[in-house]
Amino acid sequence: MENRIRHWRRERGLSQEALGKLVGLGKPTISKLERGDLRLRDVAIAKLVDALDVPAHDLLGDYAGGMAAADAAPEEETVDATETDFGYQKVPMADKAGMVAEVFASVAPKYDLMNDLMSMGIHRLWKAEMIAWLKPRPAMRIADVAGGTGDIAFRILERATGAHVSVCDINPAMLAVGRDRALDRGILDNIDWLCGDAQALPLADGSVDAVTIAFGIRNVTRLDAALAEARRVLRPGGRFLCLEFSRVALPALKPLYDAYSFKLLPLLGEIVAGDRESYQYLVESIRRFPDQETFKAMITDAGLGQCRHRNLSGGVAALHSAWRI
């Protein structure tokens, strides 16, 4: 079965090893797939289409037709439902939370520096845009998920005196940083600190007016569970607002952004923070996160309505907004 995977891989300037990392497969598997010797599940094909940014029919050629004839053949590659992504690695689903916790325990003391390195300092403007779109009001009750350092919570309380923010983070080290920062700023009222998982929030049903999450949702093990939890704790008419690194929408920007992300950022992490591996994971986790439209569909599937998104800095980050109707 002929396909054009090799052609498009070379067009994108990728080695077999690099393409394999993008889709979670080994170099030998990519080689077999390019030769037409290997049949993969649809989800793997979808990852190749996404990684190479080319329509499926242009990528697969008559391979797609041959797939139907090969339905009865044994498959050499399968997707294990008990595994999930940890950057470009496949790890047991039960292990991911602990591995992510180790990353954030490592970077917690220099979390602001991490955000500066990853966004080239622009994350402050993105967060300001998030708060402006949220329009917090006095008496609102807001859950800021994965917000352990308090950055979003402090911005909300500055904007809306009398609002109440429950900061929920799975990582005690991040919460410790946030509590210390709150004390340093004299912020003692209208904020509480909860250690909990985005997939099982320690909040009652329908108890908050808004759920915010900034640069945290890509690290959860199951996005669908985290989105379902956000809907559960929202009151009817409550709002979900998510800020996350996303898919670059400007073609001219993508090569520069890729070079910065994969080559310079891990090096800076090693030089400035003494932790190359954590920064490497964080870069890879961005690439594994769904694009803007796919994530929008996931939010809708979780039962939240009127979902919209705004690209920030050409799609380097995106804001998604939705409501519990």
**Average pLDDT, integer, range 156-181:** 93
What amino acid is encoded at 143 in this protein? A
Report residue 171's pLDDT band, with 50, 70 and 90 as the boundaries: confident
Q: Per-residue DSSP letters for 155-215?
A: HHHHHSTT-EEEEEES-HHHHHHHHHHHHHHT--SSEEEEE-BTTB-SS-TT-EEEEEEES
Average predicted confidence (pLDDT) for the chain: 82
pLDDT in tens, 110-167: 667 767 776 777 899 999 999 999 999 999 999 999 998 899 999 999 999 999 999 9
Contact 242, 146 (CB under 8 A): no
* Residue 238 Ramachandran class (φ > 0 left, ψ -120 to 50 alpha, else beta): beta
Class in CATH terms, 100-323: alpha beta
Q: Which of 87-96, 177-186, 190-199 has the lowest mean pLDDT?
A: 87-96
Q: Residue 90's pLDDT is what? A: 64
Flag whether pLDDT at 102 surpasses 70: no
CATH of domain 5-79: 1.10.260.40
Q: Residue 79's pLDDT is what? A: 41
Domain ranges of the chain: 5-79, 100-323
What is the share, in percent, of the chain residues with pLDDT greater than 90? Answer: 43
Q: How far is the C-alpha of 264 from the C-alpha of 266, rounded, in Å?
A: 6
Q: Residue 9's pLDDT is what? A: 82
Of the chain, the end-to-end C-alpha distance in Å amounts to 48
Nearest C-alpha neighbor of 159 from the set 132, 141, 185:
132
Task: State the DSSP code for 289.
Answer: S
* 3-state SS track over 202-233: CCCCCCEEEEEEECCHHHCCCHHHHHHHHHHH
Q: Residue 288's pLDDT is what? A: 81
pLDDT in tens, 270-322: 777 676 777 777 777 888 889 999 999 999 999 999 999 999 999 999 999 99
Q: Residue 302's pLDDT is what? A: 95
- Would 5-79 and 100-323 be classified into the same CATH topology? no
